[in-house]
Structure 1
Amino acid sequence: MFVVGLNVSEAPNLLPSFWQDTFLSRTVLGNAVWNWLIACAIVLAALALRRPVSRLAELIGKKALSRDQETGAAMAAALAPAVRLLVVLIGLSLALQSGLLAYSEKVGLFFQHVIDTLKAVVLCLALAGVGVSLLENSTRKAKADGNKQTVTMHVFYRRAIQVAAIVIGVFIGLRVWGFDISGLLAGLGIGGLALSLAAQDTFSNLLGGLTIMTDHAFSIGDVITTPDVEGIVEDIGFRSTKVRTFTQMQVTVPNSRLSSNTVTNLSRVIKRRIRFSISLEYGTTPDQIRSLIEKLKTRMAAREHLIPENTIIALEKFSASSIDVLFQCFTKTLDFIQYLKEQEDILLEIMEVMEQEKLSFAFSALTVHLNDLSRQRETIEQAQPGVPVKD
């Protein structure tokens, strides 16, 4: 796959004749100072040209994808690290493998391994950049459509692409430097049992992350509540999930706990319930209760954000100190702040109707009857004459 470069025993004499007797003709590490300066100039030129070449590649990407310049710009930006490293790689190849410098066969083989390793890095950076840029293009469309599940899956896919690129680069690098990949894989197979026992929690968290992704239990940006934490999901990783609590604390929860515990996703409600009891005094007449219920039903039916067929207003029960009227309705408002505002407006309307009907809310009260001790004494004396009564 990789071709070994040219190794020379003698470097060519590139010094002009009128500088032959100067210090530039002196030999340092087997090469003339002039040749070293040329090699360094090539490398420095490559370092200086890497950013301009990257910008030029970005312009070419925009022109090539003129119908979708945003995609072209994203692709060029993702490929920019690979392009910059490629320019440096070309400079190193010209300086080390063009015959400008003379070195031994072992040194030449070392330089060849370095160049081939950089080629593998460029390849992996390019593949990862293309994959991530295409994925981010789909992610932008999913965000525009409000599809949070797709956005969450794309975050997981992006990390998988990056991990795969790193693994491929490592295996190619090991192959370049002469390591036996098959032997390494066999060694991993033998030590797999010990590794699995040592990293049991890590593997369970990885499986938990895959379970969360495949089940679509929640997405980034959802409000969830679990036995461990309650808040907004900020990130879902391979090992853990980060949740921002309502006290603005960031809590990191292992995926294995989330996948095994009950998770309530508060962001996926299709309607919100408003439920409470209206406690009336026991002096309220049945006609007043009927009038109250009818007027409340009429007013609730006129509210824009309520679902009329789900509204229930009815006499519920007789409590110890009040007559309770059940009030239950569902609102189409999903935002929590707007939900509280809707509930506030409903409560104020109930107060207005109560005032119109001249009704009062009942208070929890306990009536205590205190017996008169003098009457108790007279009763006992009449029942048992002659028996002294103690106070």
Structure 2
Amino acid sequence: MPVNENIENNATIVLNVIDGLDLGVPTEVQKFLAPVYETFPSLSNTIWGIPYANLIAAIVVFFFFLLLRRFFSSVIVVFLQKLAKKTSTYYDDKIISALKGPLGFIFVLIGLHLFFALIFKETETIKHILETLVIYAIFWAILSITEAMRGVVYDITGKFNKDLSKEMGNFILAIIKILIAGVGLGAMLQVWGINVTALVASLGIGGLAFALAAKDTIANLFGSFSLLADRTIRIGEWIVVNNVEGVVEDIGMRTTKIRSFGKSVITVPNHVIANNPIENFSRRGIRRIKMTIGLTYSTTTVQITNIVNDIKTMLQTHEGISHNDTLLVNFESFGDSSLNIFVYTFTNTANWEHYLQIREDINLKIMKIIESHGSSFAFPSQSIYVESMPQT
């Protein structure tokens, strides 16, 4: 069955829902009001064409359903939530909580329907508005259930790719929600007599203009496909891309949100990320230590040789240094003000805090080694030699 025909059939079904909401209440109330009019003739007087008794009854019925809504939210839903907590799964808890809003809204709609029915003001426009709100409530409930089942989607996507289960799940849920919202919007338009089929067909006339206008959106959509397929980045990873650095918070259909280290959120279009080099710090298992140590020119050959050997030995035995990666300690160059020792090695962790602790310990040990050999650190300085003093 075509999609438009489906929408039309769904809309037709929903159009009949509002007529069945009253459960015969207006008729019963009207029967009850008949002797009231006989007993109190003054209540048959009208305001804006509405008999007083009917207006009072309409207000009472409306507030009665508001009370029912409150009773439903505070008693029945709470009772169901307590029952759900006794089950082994937590999805029933989520579904009950998700349906609390939409089902409570239905009580308001019933109250409004009866209110207008009792004051004889349920015109075609009012009826269309109520029917639209019914459809809204139904699709609100569907979307809420979809969101409540997010964990199920994550479990399913995790079977295909555990590392990207959240990213793929979020993407699939976004598409499902758009489709549900589209069907709901089509049903609402059908209520107001708008031909959804003709509307969809008319969109084809401006298809080219729309495609040109939406080229960036399409590029971002394909960029998101690329990110998910290539597993380039994941939520929670520390990356740098296009001069933006931070932790990935969300990978959407159009953009990726990155939390900078200044705690601001930077939104980057997916096609920018897909088409630019990405430096992913979270995927390294080690971190580099690279430094140049400057010693004073008063340091002797024996001292500098011993210092280099002791630093190398210290690094080779240090528990925080990766022993399977490059380790270099060499007397590198004669600087302008110092004798330079080059140190190049890697820690065995990528955790920043742990890395800083290891680096601090190494720095202190290097200071002790240099002090123990009677040398000292150099600092920029200049020496001025005067060949002769002027005659006085």
**Which TM-score applies when normalising by structure 1?**
0.76
Q: For residue 247 of structure 1, report the CA deviation from its aligned partner.
A: 4.1
Q: Which runs of 5+ in 1 are unaligned?
A: 373-391
SS at match of 1:309: coil
- After superposition, residues 224-373 of structure 1 pair within 5 angstroms as 224-280=239-295, 288-310=303-325, 312-315=327-330, 317-320=332-335, 324-361=340-377
| 1:121-176 CA distance string (max 9 Å, x none) | 12211111111112157779x9xxxx885444544455444433322211111122
- Per the alignment, residue 63 of structure 1 pairs with 83
Q: For residue 45 of structure 1, report the CA deviation from its aligned partner.
A: 1.9
Separation in 1, partners of 2:212, 2:45? 62
Q: Given residue 345 of structure 2, which amino acid in structure 1 is its aligned partner?
A: C
- Per the alignment, residue 375 of structure 1 pairs with none
Q: In 2, are the aligned partners of 1:82 and 1:123 still within 8 Å (CA)?
A: yes
Q: For residue 29 of structure 1, report the CA deviation from its aligned partner.
A: 6.3
Alignment of 1:194 onto 2:213: no
Alignment of 1:180 onto 2:195: yes
Separation in 2, partners of 1:344, 1:60? 57
Q: Given residue 24 of structure 1, which amino acid in structure 2 is its aligned partner?
A: L
| 1:39-83 CA distance string (max 9 Å, x none) | 332222222322331342343144145224744333222222211
Separation in 1, partners of 2:375, 2:339? 12
Q: For residue 348 of structure 1, report the CA deviation from its aligned partner.
A: 1.3
For residues 58 and 188 of structure 1, do their structure 2 counterparts lie closer, same or farther at Cα, with a shift above 3 Å needed? farther
Q: For residue 195 of structure 1, report the CA deviation from its aligned partner.
A: 1.4
Alignment of 1:81 onto 2:101: yes
Q: In 2, are the aligned partners of 1:224 and 1:233 still within 8 Å (CA)?
A: yes
For residues 153 and 45 of structure 1, do their structure 2 counterparts lie closer, same or farther at Cα, with a shift above 3 Å needed? farther
Separation in 2, partners of 1:39, 1:120? 24
SS at match of 1:14: helix
Q: In 1, are the aligned partners of 2:186 and 2:196 still within 8 Å (CA)?
A: yes
Q: In 1, are the aligned partners of 2:62 and 2:112 still within 8 Å (CA)?
A: yes
| 1:99-122 CA distance string (max 9 Å, x none) | x56568xx2x44443343223212
Alignment of 1:23 onto 2:42: yes
Q: In 2, are the aligned partners of 1:148 and 1:220 still within 8 Å (CA)?
A: no
Aligned residues: 363
Among 34, 47, 55, the alignment partner of 2:53 is 34
After TM superposition, the structure 1 stretch with the greater mean CA deviation from structure 2, 147-156 or 212-221, is 147-156
Larger Rg: 1
Alignment of 1:43 onto 2:62: yes
Separation in 1, partners of 2:35, 2:263? 74
Among 237, 259, 270, the alignment partner of 1:222 is 237
Separation in 2, partners of 1:167, 1:231? 35
Separation in 1, partners of 2:354, 2:177? 41
| 1:313-348 CA distance string (max 9 Å, x none) | 332534455654432222133332332232122111
- Per the alignment, residue 14 of structure 2 pairs with 2
Q: In 2, are the aligned partners of 1:331 and 1:339 still within 8 Å (CA)?
A: yes
Separation in 2, partners of 1:363, 1:64? 71
Q: Given residue 180 of structure 2, which amino acid in structure 1 is its aligned partner?
A: A
Q: In 2, are the aligned partners of 1:312 and 1:329 still within 8 Å (CA)?
A: yes
SS at match of 1:74: helix
Q: In 1, are the aligned partners of 2:327 and 2:346 still within 8 Å (CA)?
A: no
SS at match of 2:14: coil
For residues 316 and 309 of structure 1, do their structure 2 counterparts lie closer, same or farther at Cα, with a shift above 3 Å needed? farther
Q: In 2, are the aligned partners of 1:113 and 1:176 still within 8 Å (CA)?
A: yes
Separation in 2, partners of 1:270, 1:121? 50
- Per the alignment, residue 14 of structure 1 pairs with 32
Alignment of 1:169 onto 2:181: no
Separation in 1, partners of 2:179, 2:138? 12
Q: For residue 187 of structure 1, report the CA deviation from its aligned partner.
A: 0.8
- After superposition, residues 121-140 of structure 1 pair within 5 angstroms as 121-135=136-150
SS at match of 2:350: coil
- After superposition, residues 94-113 of structure 1 pair within 5 angstroms as 94-95=114-115, 100=118, 102=120, 107=123, 109-113=124-128
| 1:325-375 CA distance string (max 9 Å, x none) | 432222133332332232122111111111222234455677888888xxx
**Which TM-score applies when normalising by structure 2?**
0.76
For residues 249 and 2 of structure 1, do their structure 2 counterparts lie closer, same or farther at Cα, with a shift above 3 Å needed? closer
SS at match of 2:345: strand
Q: Given residue 185 of structure 2, which amino acid in structure 1 is its aligned partner?
A: V
Separation in 2, partners of 1:152, 1:14? 60
